[in-house]
Amino acid sequence: MNPEEAQHKIKLLTEQLNAHNHRYYVLASPSISDFDFDQMLRELEELESLFPEFSSPNSPTKRVGGDITKKFETVIHEYPMLSLSNTYSREEIVEWVGRLEKFGLENLSLVCELKYDGVAVGLRYEKGALVRAVTRGDGEKGEDITSNVRTIRSVSLQLTNDFPEKFEIRGEIFMPIAAFKELNEQRASDGEEPFANPRNTAAGTLKLQDSSLVAKRGLDTFLYGVYQEKGAFHDHMEAIRAAGSWGFKIPPESLGYINVVHDIDGVMDFINYWDQHRYDLPFEIDGIVIKVNAYEDQKRIGFTSKSPRWATAFKFKTQQAESTLLSIDYQVGRTGSITPVANLSPVSLGGTTVRRASLHNEDQILKLDLHISDTVLVEKGGEIIPKIVGVNRVKRSHGAQPIVFIENCPECGAKLLREEGLSNHFCPNASACPPQVAGRLIHFVSRKAMNIEGLGDETINVLVKENMLKFPCDFYTLNRSELLRVDRMAEKSVNKLLAAIDESKNIPFERVLFALGIRHVGETVAKRITQHTGSLAKLMQFTKEELLEIEEIGDKIADSILHFFRDDENKMWIEKLIDVGLQFESKGKDKDSDVLSGLTLVVSGVFDAYSRDEIKELIERNGGKNSGSVSSKTDFLVAGEGMGPAKLKKAKDLGVKILNELEFQKLIGNEK
Ligand code: IVH
């Protein structure tokens, strides 16, 4: 393909992918399959790598992230980002509307909106392209989080029709409850502490340095305000509807997320409806925002120093209720981690009956000083089940017994352990503790691991009970006639399942490594290990020091890996997986060049355009060898920011040539 054809094709694919992305994430009505979308995306990726001169920062391929932001630059807001006055009192809302009438508005027209509980962001567009995304900060100046915001699928990178030449649009970035739950489930299964709530998680996510991690967190957005020099609109609602037509995700009127009302009764109806139904929403809100609709009226009513007088927020009280603590169940997760769950006397909270509440770990039980039969305060948040936030000690009966955390696994009786510095207890009996055996197998076949379709949790539990499955290697010896004998397995589904199992032999090493289910080794860590070691054989020989050299690996993960590979039983079933033919080596990527052939390089510090592991990968792709420490055999030290002074001194003393990132890129002919 010649450059002209490539440029044309890149433009076409970009437009098509943007349109499909918009249909999927903004309008929720996709018109092509995920598979076809991925094919097109891959084609665009390939063309962009062959013709990088035609790749744009707003290309749909950038949705997966990859940019590293070491420092979020400060940006002064063109229009200050004000906050809203707020109240918990309905009377004050009545008074606020009453005061508006004094301004002599001809016809009262108010827009009621949901108050999304996330992070405010200002997005600047020029010629329809997103050029900058900035946090609210102190209202005067915020931080540039453009790279991270680009990965949020519902933020349009390129607008479609009739948009103004230059403008800013503001809205809220939030984490939908489903994404929050999935993230916390993932964290629990990786043996990580759960995040506290969707809002803090969204805020923390937007400040991650690696945008490819942001891309995986499922953030979403609603836009709520258009700002431009000479606006063509008469009122706020008109501007919001127009923003929808340009390609932004705006709150749907059809679902009642936004509504124009003309009197206080209309405002109260909106407030009361959402106070009742807020927990039916797929995201969290903490109140309702009411805005004067007409821009002329807004101007007339004006601002205080901190917030507009033409808008206010009614905040919902966090719903709390008292209940009695009946008992505590201890659940055992896939990696053996123990989660205590409180059983409560049924109590009505936010429209549902609550019977259970999460407690996370022993520390939380101690912090709350929980006793059996305590009267506890439960609160509903974005979590699967509500949480206990306090104890009413006045109501504690005399002689009530404090809760003592269990010492043995409730499933298999093994003595529980608690790793130093961690808050979770875990059951070490991985090979025989039933939920761990089934959990390991369920994880192994899951979509992000070996992606073996046709095996639900139920079927796996049955196969475990029938002694057909115990270790992951057993999937590969399942046979047709045995499977047919198992409940509900028809010929067709058995055939499909066996084909899927066979197909999984092609799954690349990084996912196989993730599938092994090593505590604390999630998807990202597995990827880093793969980049660094290249094969299981190498990984299994690594010492703790060598493991610690891998980016994102600290003591906890290193110990867990060493512990996993020391176990004879683990070694036995992994040996069998090797025999079956799973991928335990990363497919050697094509070499870029031999310019570093025969040279040994040490990489240290933090870089702008690449992560440390990416630099190491580049070294290998260009024929060089990586080493962890500087010695007389070192040819180059690739030095990033913040590298240890001792290493630097040693390199200087030994006369090792020191390269900065740019010099390294020049050396391998890869200026990014
Ligand atoms: S309008 C000048 N509308 O609430 C008025 N804000 O203190 C600008 N928020 O952090 C805000 N939902 O991010 C507006 N529908 C909505 C909102 C909303 C949530 C947040 C906003 C800000 C806070 C206001």
Task: Of 621, 615, 618, give the one whose Cα is nearest residue 643.
Answer: 615
104 lies in the same domain as 239: yes
pLDDT in tens, 33-91: 888 898 899 899 999 988 988 988 889 998 988 788 888 999 999 999 999 999 999 99
Domain end among 506, 524, 550: 506
H/E element, 301: helix 295-301
Q: Is residue 421 part of a domain?
A: no
246 lies in the same domain as 233: yes
Q: Is the pLDDT of residue 531 over 90?
A: no
**The domain that contains 37 carries what CATH number?**
1.10.287.610
d(CA 112, CA 569): 61
pLDDT of residue 384: 59
The two tokens of residue 123 are 């997005």
d(CA 491, CA 513): 31
Q: Is the pLDDT of residue 312 over 90?
A: yes
pLDDT confidence of 590, banded at 50, 70, 90?
low
500 lies in the same domain as 513: no
**The domain that contains 450 carries what CATH number?**
1.10.150.20
Contact indicator for 149, 133 with CB cutoff of 8 Å? yes
Mean pLDDT for the stretch of residues 106-118: 94
84 Cα: distance to centroid of ligand 1 (angstroms): 7
CB of residue 113 inside a 6 A radius of ligand 1: yes
- pTM metric for this prediction: 0.67
129 lies in the same domain as 268: yes
12 lies in the same domain as 26: yes
Contact indicator for 292, 137 with CB cutoff of 8 Å? no
Burial class (CB in 10 A: 0-12, 13-18, 19+), 566: exposed
501 lies in the same domain as 513: no
115 Cα: distance to centroid of ligand 1 (angstroms): 6
Kindly report the length of the chain: 672
Domain end among 488, 506, 524: 506
CB of residue 139 inside a 6 A radius of ligand 1: no
Start-end of H helices in 508-632? 509-515, 523-533, 536-541, 544-548, 555-566, 568-580, 612-621
522 lies in the same domain as 498: no
pLDDT of residue 38: 86
236 lies in the same domain as 187: yes
351 lies in the same domain as 391: yes
Q: Is residue 350 part of a domain?
A: yes
Q: Is the pLDDT of residue 305 over 60?
A: yes
pLDDT in tens, 168-202: 999 999 999 999 988 988 887 676 777 878 999 99
Start-end of H helices in 80-189? 90-102, 146-149, 177-189
Q: Is the pLDDT of residue 233 over 70?
A: yes
276: left (phi over 0), alpha (psi -120 to 50) or beta: alpha
Q: Is residue 403 part of a domain?
A: no
SS (H, E, C) 393-433: HHHCCCCCCECCCCCECCCCCCECEECCCCCCEECCCCCCC
Mean pLDDT for the stretch of residues 601-623: 85
Atom of ligand 1 nearest to the CA of 171: 13
Atom of ligand 1 nearest to the CA of 119: 13
Mean pLDDT for the stretch of residues 437-461: 91
pLDDT in tens, 344-392: 999 988 778 899 998 888 999 999 999 999 999 998 865 557 889 999 9
Highest mean pLDDT, choosing among 351-360, 471-480, 483-492: 471-480
Top pLDDT among 118 and 62 is at 118
Across all residues in the chain, what is the average pLDDT? Answer: 90
pLDDT of residue 381: 66
180 lies in the same domain as 103: yes
pLDDT of residue 486: 80
Angle at 386 between CA 383 and CA 392, to 5 degrees: 145
pLDDT of residue 17: 95
d(CA 528, CA 424): 25
pLDDT confidence of 421, banded at 50, 70, 90?
confident
**The domain that contains 179 carries what CATH number?**
3.30.470.30
Q: Label the pairing between strands 86-87 and 311-315.
A: parallel
289 Cα: distance to centroid of ligand 1 (angstroms): 7
Q: Label the pairing between strands 86-87 and 258-261.
A: unpaired
**The domain that contains 656 carries what CATH number?**
3.40.50.10190
Start-end of H helices in 430-554? 434-445, 457-465, 480-485, 491-503, 509-515, 523-533, 536-541, 544-548
End-to-end alpha carbon distance in the chain:
23
Q: Is residue 475 part of a domain?
A: yes
pLDDT confidence of 416, banded at 50, 70, 90?
very high
**The domain that contains 369 carries what CATH number?**
2.40.50.140
Domain end among 315, 331, 363: 315
Domain count, the chain: 6
Mean pLDDT for the stretch of residues 432-450: 93
Q: Is residue 79 part of a domain?
A: yes
Q: Label the pairing between strands 625-627 and 600-604.
A: parallel
CB of residue 225 inside a 6 A radius of ligand 1: yes
pLDDT of residue 669: 85
Percent of the chain with pLDDT over 90: 62
pLDDT of residue 589: 58
pLDDT of residue 645: 78
pLDDT confidence of 588, banded at 50, 70, 90?
low
pLDDT confidence of 329, banded at 50, 70, 90?
very high
* 115: annotated active-site residue: yes
Longest dimension (CA), the chain: 85
Nearest residue by C-alpha to atom 21 in ligand 1: 120
158 lies in the same domain as 228: yes
Domain that residue 487 falls in: 434-506
CB of residue 489 inside a 6 A radius of ligand 1: no
Cross-strand bridge partners of residue 260 = 111
168 lies in the same domain as 301: yes
- Lowest-pLDDT choice from 230-239, 521-530, 588-597, 649-658: 588-597
| E strands in 49-179 | 74-76, 86-87, 110-116, 119-126, 129-135, 141-143, 166-174
Amino acid at 12: L
pLDDT of residue 484: 87
Given the residues 62, 115, 291, 380, the one annotated as active site: 115
pLDDT of residue 85: 95
Mutate to test the pocket of ligand 1, among 82, 115, 199, 295 (most ligand atoms within 8 A of CB): 115
pLDDT of residue 114: 98
Q: Is residue 298 part of a domain?
A: yes
Atom of ligand 1 nearest to the CA of 114: 15
